[in-house]
Amino acid sequence: MQPDLDRAQEAIRQSDERYGKLLASITDYIYTVRLQNGVVVETSHGPGCLAVTGYTPQQYASDPDLWHRMVHPDDTTAVVANAAEMSQGKVPPTIEHRIFHRDGSIRWARNQRVPYYDPGGNHAGH
């Protein structure tokens, strides 16, 4: 049984490594939100986040709610509703909204969410 577990863990490690390399090679700002029982437990942000938001991937990793707090208050309801559509099994439309850059300026962002599911078919993030 242990060899199977070792192979599975190595496959996961290799998959994570490939994903990290892919994410680092993309020039747009791409992020992933991981959910557990419908609650955000982790976010992963590509290097493009620095140019768009002023925050590094490490800052997002250490503060899982940063991505949500930087949404302009007038746009929060629409952003949350857009994300909630995925929990209902829908792929929401692209949404444009404002965010606060680390320097305090307001920027516009276009957000296209792409859901992903766990092996049981449950919405696991986007």
pLDDT band at 1 (very low <50, low <70, confident <90, very high): low
Q: What residues does 71 pair with on adjacent strands?
A: 99
Residue in 85, 80, 58, 84 with CA at minimum distance from that of residue 69: 80
- Give, in order, the Cα–Cα distances in Å from 119 to each of 75, 77, 101, 116, 123: 33, 30, 36, 10, 10
* pTM greater than 0.75 (yes/no): no
Angstrom distance (rounded) from CA 77 to CA 5: 43
In angstroms, rounded to a whole number, what is the distance separating the alpha carbons of residues 50 and 30? 11
List pLDDT tens digits, range 57-112. 999 889 878 988 999 999 999 988 887 787 677 788 889 999 999 999 999 988 88
Tokens representing 75? 């746009």
For the chain, the first-to-last Cα distance in angstroms comes to 32
Q: What is the pLDDT of residues 5-35, one digit of tens each?
A: 788 888 888 888 887 776 665 557 788 877 7
